[in-house]
Structure 1
Amino acid sequence: MASRLTYKSKQLFFVLIKISLVVAAFYFIYKKLTKNSDLNFYDFLLFLSKNNSFSLKNITFLIILSILNWFFEILKWQELVSFIQKISFKKALEQSLGSLTASLFTPNRIGEYGAKAIYFRRPLRKRILLINLLSNFLQMGITTILGIIGLLFFYRSYNINLSINSLIIIASIIVFTLVLIVFLFRKNNFSVKGFPLEKIRQFIISFPINKFVLATVFSLLRYLIFSFQFYYLLTLFGIDISYLNAMMVVTSMYLLASIIPSIFVFDVVIKGSIAVYLFSFIGVEELISLSVVTLMWILNFVLPSIIGSYYVLIFNFPKNNN
């Protein structure tokens, strides 16, 4: 009887944890939308209601773009995980959206690593953590490469005036960063997310090249989709700008936002501040920039996390979890 009571107590505690995760995610979403000092939520809703461009057709198209964004993220996860265990698209969907909800309020989405790992048996979890690290590195790599290109074109196109002191500071930061990277990579005990660099290097070398390339392609497709979605939202707000000019600003914004550590739920604040600054060079009003960033966050993270809350609530540990 005592062991049975203990088992029931554990089950109850497990259910309470899942409910707590979902409640915490919804609370942070609510807090971010209603307590944003840069954009009043009611002003945001009023601004949207006055914009006649948001027809059912346009809203449907925006949601389709969000679905495609996560479709390729799920495919990427399914492809990478198949290196150690084949999973169905449905399982990859459950793991991707469930981990999004569970990690929404954690710093730099660090909770995603543990959330995805517990979907697998214990002997596989360390390799799952490494695969998730590789997945994020690939997406970050695409963001960095396209962001640097966009930032260079942005600098040349809009003749941003930088003083000699500013140039010296920027050059010093770049040199210091490069020296630091070289120094850390030469140290044998250097680790990333708790994994020794040598272990990560060996894992990447052993990873099948075809899966690596395909995952990179999925990362690129995701980037092209959500960056186009950003551009499409600008046009809905009446901004007359070419796609290439918009991409210079959008790619620069995502690069700058990605290198600033933050709690993920406040990612929208950072992107909003950077977007306001960058888009001011092309005459976009602050309210429009903040509204687009907020809508991007709602479409690509809030809505998927609502779906993911269902997967959090029905989650059970894998069988044969020795």
Structure 2
Amino acid sequence: MLTAISYKSKQFSLLLLKIGIVVGAFYLIYHKIFHNSAFSFSAFYRIISNSTSLSLISVIFLLLLSYFNWYFEILKWQTLVTAVSKISFKKAKAQSLGALTASLWTPNRIGEYGAKAMYYPTSLRSQIMLLNLVGNAAQMLVTSVFGGLGLIYFSLNFRPIFKYESMAIAGLGMLVTGVLIVWIMNANLFRKYFQSFQRLVNFITNIPKKTMVKSCTFSVARYLIFSHQFYLLLVLIGSELAYLETMSAISTMYLLASIVPSIFLFDVVVKGGIAITIFGMLGISQPVVLTVVTAMWILNVVLPSLIGSYHVLQFKLPKSEA
């Protein structure tokens, strides 16, 4: 009897949690679109509706780019998970989109780690979180490589003014942090934690090279898709900049945006502020930049998270956790 009551109580609590996540996601999206002082939906709609280049075909193509962006992300997750458990593309889709919806409240979508781990038994959760870290690291590596090249080209051609004092302070901070990490690793007090860290490193290094290569390949595919989607939106809304100039600005923007902490509620504001600064140097107006950033946010975050809401509601604890 007590076991039955405990089971029903757990299931009811899980149902409330799933409903809370979905309702919270819808509220965040609604608030961001219609009740945000930093964003005017009417201005966004006016610019989109006045664009003569936007057509049904171009909208469908933009939606297809979003589809393939997430298609490669789901493939990447399916590939990484094979290191501990084979899953179908359908399950990988449910986990990826469900985790997106569940992580909207969290800074830099860090809640995605715990959300994906919940799909697996307790014994596998630490490994699943590490695999998610590997996937995000692969995407960050690709963003850094393309962003670094774009930043060099952008700097040489547009001579942006950098605050070298701030860069020096940041570099000094990184050096001090590195020294502290080395000291901690050699301190007896932290030796057992360092051994745990070594086990984690060993797990990552034992991931098959083929899996790592595939993950990086899918990350490159994703980057090329969403960066060119941004470029296409700029062209459709009215930008007449040269391809290399625009792509260097886009890659610079994504590099800078990727290292600035943000939560979903302020994601568009953060990326919008960076984009306004970068594209302002190219003579693109603030309303146009904000419209493109918002359209990218709707296409690649809002729409997938709405689909993810279905997967959140369909979520069931693994058998060992039920």
TM-score by length of 1: 0.92
Which range moved further: 17-26 or 49-58?
49-58
Counterpart in 2 of 1:236? 236
Q: Does 1:306 align with 2:303?
A: no
Q: Does the CA contact (< 8 Å) of 1:185 and 1:197 recur in 2?
A: no
How many residue pairs are counted as aligned between the two chains? 318
Q: Which runs of 5+ in 1 are unaligned?
A: none
Map of 1:118-157 to 2, 5 A cutoff? 118-157=118-157
Map Cα deviations across residues 5-38 of structure 1 (whole Å, 9 max, x no partner). Answer: 4433332222111011000011111111123333
Distance change (3 Å), C-alpha of 1:5 and 1:83 = closer
Tell me the distance in 2 between the aligned counterparts of 1:201 and 1:183: 19
How far residue 176 of structure 1 moved from its aligned partner, in angstroms, is: 3.2
Counterpart in 1 of 2:261? 261
TM-score by length of 2: 0.92
Amino acid aligned to 2:53:
S
Map of 1:1-322 to 2, 5 A cutoff? 3-162=3-162, 166-181=163-178, 183-184=180-181, 187-188=184-185, 189=190, 197-321=197-321
How far residue 178 of structure 1 moved from its aligned partner, in angstroms, is: 4.1
Tell me the distance in 2 between the aligned counterparts of 1:97 and 1:287: 30
How far residue 184 of structure 1 moved from its aligned partner, in angstroms, is: 2.2
Tell me the distance in 1 between the aligned counterparts of 2:89 and 2:243: 33
How far residue 140 of structure 1 moved from its aligned partner, in angstroms, is: 1.0
Q: Does the CA contact (< 8 Å) of 1:39 and 1:287 recur in 2?
A: no
Q: Does the CA contact (< 8 Å) of 2:48 and 2:237 recur in 1?
A: no
Amino acid aligned to 1:168:
E
Identity rate, percent? 48
**CA RMSD of superposed structures (Å):** 2.2
Tell me the distance in 2 between the aligned counterparts of 1:204 and 1:2: 42
Map Cα deviations across residues 224-273 of structure 1 (whole Å, 9 max, x no partner). Answer: 11000000000001101222111111111111111111113321110000
How far residue 167 of structure 1 moved from its aligned partner, in angstroms, is: 2.2
Q: Which runs of 5+ in 2 are unaligned?
A: none
Amino acid aligned to 2:269:
V
Distance change (3 Å), C-alpha of 1:252 and 1:195 = farther
